[in-house]
A and B are shown apart, each in its own frame.
Chain A
């Protein structure tokens, strides 16, 4: 109905859409209901692949490839890396509800919002303008990849350059946020535990604390306490990571 009557939907297209939509919806629901964050991440991959199929179905081939490479290949791997790095892959306590009545209210609001969205989208008459007046046509020579490249490097060149600045800022911000608090401070005994592996969770040097011999004039009990705390902080994590 949108393109021309020549491009009427065929059975194959309808079938492809149905299968991809089922995959997308199943994955989306799985992300929300999965108790284990790892399962949620894998469900997210399923949704992203389904969306990539829908992109291909709409002749957005380049975006489908980027979707799989960037989302499924980079973003979800980053999610999984952080989940396993932090050891938060235990199941969430669903019964605990800090805000009373938040969940039923959220369901009601979302259902209302979806109903409003669908009613507005399909009940109202939107003025969408003429076709291909603002930008280049999608069906230029060379297919969608060439058209997208021409568009990004001519019309949207400034946005493209700003995007590169954004990526640099994001990388610097991530490094600043994720480094150890206080930075690397070489102490007087830094050469003794220079090869000690810092605990990524507590940021403290557990191996150094365990191996450290108490100074002769200091009270040995405090050092032993520090070592015990560091060990007890490190122990539950190893339990969670190992299956």
Chain B
């Protein structure tokens, strides 16, 4: 019915790596958040693939919770970006050094 799970896992690994690369090389905080979303999606794809391979609904339930956590993370992260932007008038990662303790 479906392709072998190895294809999906390989694709997820590649997408995760692309997200990691974007997180490391980009400096715009919003784009960095998008790269984090890419990584989360790659892991979600892995969960769904393992859920199919092992015939266990637990993987899909975990994806459900990952979606909620991702939504909460984006909301709080964008709130921080807006708060920083009010002070610094820019949204690159270098502006966040004011948060260092």
Contacts and interface: CB of A to CB of B under 8 A. Distances in A.
Interface string A156-185: 100110010011011101111110010000
A79 B10 contact: no
Interface in A93-114: 96, 98, 102-103, 106-107, 109-111, 113-114
A98 B61 contact: no
Contacts of B45: 51, 54-55
B53 to A, nearest CB: 4
A121 B13 contact: yes
Contacts of A109: 24
Q: What does DSSP make chain A's interface, helix, strand, loop or mixed?
A: helix
Which interface class (under 10, 10 to 19, 20 to 34, 35 or more) fits A?
Answer: 35 or more
A113 to B, nearest CB: 6
Interface string B29-57: 01101110110010011001111111111
A109 B3 CA distance: 30
Interface in A56-109: 57-60, 62-63, 66-67, 70-71, 74-75, 78-79, 82-83, 85-86, 88, 92, 96, 98, 102-103, 106-107, 109
A177 B94 contact: no
Given A114-B13, A202-B86, A32 B71 contact: no
A24 B11 contact: yes
Contact of B37 (A58, A75, A134, A139): A75
Interface of B: 1-11, 13-22, 24-28, 30-31, 33-35, 37-38, 41, 44-45, 48-58, 60-61, 63-65, 67-76, 78-83, 85-86, 89-92, 94
